[in-house]
Amino acid sequence: MTNTSEQLLDIEKIRKDFPILHREINGKPLVYFDNAATSQTPKQVIDCIVDYYETKNANIHRGVHSLSQIATDAYEAAREKVRAHFNAEHSHEIILTSGTTHSINLVANGYASILKPEDEILVSAMEHHSNIVPWQILCQKTGATLKVIPMSHKGELEMETYKGLINENTKLVFVNHVSNALGTINPIKEIIEIAHDVGAKVLIDGAQSAPHIKADVQALDVDYYTVSAHKICGPTGVGMLYGKEDLLNMLPPYQGGGEMIAEVTFEKTTYAGLPHKFEAGTPNISGGIAFGAALDYMNSIGFDAIAAYEMELLKYATSELQKIEGVTIYGTSPEHKTAVLSFNIENLHPYDIGTLLDKMGIAVRTGHHCAQPIMEFYKIPGTVRASFAFYNTKEEIDAFITALKKAKSMLL
Ligand code: 7TS
């Protein structure tokens, strides 16, 4: 590591915030390189959850009693933190969901009553299954056509083909900000502008970008943006759907139930306004509050410093990995992606490599990463994916490379 990168973050101090990083796995110090699946949770966020149950636990938006008001205020303060972080204009444009999958399904379900059989929707070739399957279901319901924006061998979207595919029948475009399997950072601003030129709306899946890039939904002029808190140091089971006010108002509710209504009779129900229309039932209250704490934590470190430090890690890991004979790295060069290394070693199955690495305390993901079309594109069964976070270190990368060499020699 260069002096510059060491100066970027106080890694020793940061690592003290994450109790899990100090445990052993299979008798070896844990090296956690599966951050794209879920990030680890700092003490500040864990404490926030404990504090909620110790001092604030009550159902929200319904009690006249003080405790319910305290819990409601904390939950709504978290929504405001999410709004401020992503720079939405209004806090009611932030729907707190159970995560990205829920957010995407909410929008897809809403368009079932809007799309017509002659409509077309575009999805990129490098999506997670949760940004493919809901749109396929939508097409089955409406008769609309799903078209695919192809990717190049380098792992980048083919923008010229995209421009050729989009037309006045295109109603919706779905692209991830960052690919989970490759790490590619997609040119979403350009994608949004091109879609808006024909009047299409754009949903950006921000599940993989949120840990690395602070998105400004107004500057992007994005129509819908989705995030899962568990990938940004928050808890599982909570996330957000951002939508422009008029576009959220246009969609019918996703689920019916308590808290999403204005008035109910057996003849007719009228719905609550945003955001409550889309938040039926008791939500993940502690999770929502902790989502806010996670954003506070990440912002206290700073996204510019996080991105710069992770880039140093990625460049170092890439150059060390390339020194191992028989390695193929999938995806674009470090400058155009987040800290993800998706690779294979000639004549070895990714699963075998992952299993041996685990025996040496190193956690990576292996397989298709819920992005089977990418694997089909490269004609491979899957990859080994090492994904880094700001609390990882160069020493951990050294341990990973040593373990990888050992695994290779054991398997070949
Ligand atoms: N979209 C992308 C780009 C993702 O990476 C994931 C999860 C999802 C959507 C779904 O998020 P969820 O929180 O609703 O489950 N990605 C991964 C992964 O790469 N490994 O495990 C989960």
Torsional sign, CA 391, 312, 5, 213: negative
pLDDT at 150: 98
Based on the domain organization, do 248 and 341 belong to the same domain?
Answer: no
Which tokens belong to 299?
A: 């912002």
pLDDT at 54: 98
Based on the domain organization, do 261 and 339 belong to the same domain?
Answer: no
pLDDT at 159: 98
Based on the domain organization, do 14 and 89 belong to the same domain?
Answer: no
Distance of alpha carbon 202 from alpha carbon 123, whole angstroms = 10
Which tokens belong to 143?
A: 């008769």
Based on the domain organization, do 236 and 87 belong to the same domain?
Answer: yes
Based on the domain organization, do 196 and 317 belong to the same domain?
Answer: no
- Give nearest CA residue, ligand 1 atom 15: 101
Please indicate, yes or no, if residue 191 is contained in any of the structural domains.
yes
pLDDT at 62: 82
Q: Ligand 1 within 6 A of 103 CB?
A: no
pLDDT at 5: 56
Distance of alpha carbon 219 from alpha carbon 204, whole angstroms = 14
What phi and psi values does residue 92 have, to the nearest 5 degrees?
-75, -5
Distance of alpha carbon 254 from alpha carbon 15, whole angstroms = 40
> Which residues in the chain come in under a pLDDT of 50?
1-3
Please indicate, yes or no, if residue 37 is contained in any of the structural domains.
no
Based on the domain organization, do 284 and 306 belong to the same domain?
Answer: no
pLDDT at 8: 78
275 touches 96 (CB < 8 A): yes
Please indicate, yes or no, if residue 38 is contained in any of the structural domains.
no
Please indicate, yes or no, if residue 180 is contained in any of the structural domains.
yes
Look at residues 299, 324, 356 and tell me which one is the last residue of a structural domain.
299
Helix 350-359 and helix 394-411, axial crossing angle in degrees, nearest 10: 120
Look at residues 267, 299, 331 and tell me which one is the last residue of a structural domain.
299
For residue 252, what is the DSSP state?
P
Please indicate, yes or no, if residue 195 is contained in any of the structural domains.
yes
Strands 327-330 and 340-345, by their bridges, are: antiparallel
69 touches 399 (CB < 8 A): no
Based on the domain organization, do 277 and 246 belong to the same domain?
Answer: yes
Domain span at 359: 4-32+302-411
Please indicate, yes or no, if residue 173 is contained in any of the structural domains.
yes
CATH number of the structural domain spanning residue 370: 3.90.1150.10
Which tokens belong to 43?
A: 């003490």
Based on the domain organization, do 143 and 27 belong to the same domain?
Answer: no
CATH number of the structural domain spanning residue 262: 3.40.640.10
Based on the domain organization, do 295 and 306 belong to the same domain?
Answer: no
Please give the number of the atom of ligand 1 that sits closest to the Cα of 228: 13
Look at residues 299, 326, 348 and tell me which one is the last residue of a structural domain.
299
Question: Rounded to two decimals, what is the model's pTM?
Answer: 0.97
Q: Ligand 1 within 6 A of 37 CB?
A: yes
pLDDT at 4: 55
| Distance (Å) from CA 396 to ligand 1 centroid | 24
pLDDT at 6: 54
Based on the domain organization, do 277 and 292 belong to the same domain?
Answer: yes
Please indicate, yes or no, if residue 203 is contained in any of the structural domains.
yes
Which tokens belong to 169?
A: 């029948």
Best mutation site among 40, 123, 180, 185 for ligand 1 pocket (most ligand atoms within 8 Å of CB)? 180
Please indicate, yes or no, if residue 39 is contained in any of the structural domains.
no
Domains held by the chain: number: 2
- Mention every residue, 6+ apart, whose C-beta is less than 8 A from residue 47: none
Based on the domain organization, do 15 and 54 belong to the same domain?
Answer: no
Based on the domain organization, do 321 and 390 belong to the same domain?
Answer: yes
Q: Ligand 1 within 6 A of 228 CB?
A: yes
- Give nearest CA residue, ligand 1 atom 17: 37
| Distance (Å) from CA 292 to ligand 1 centroid | 20
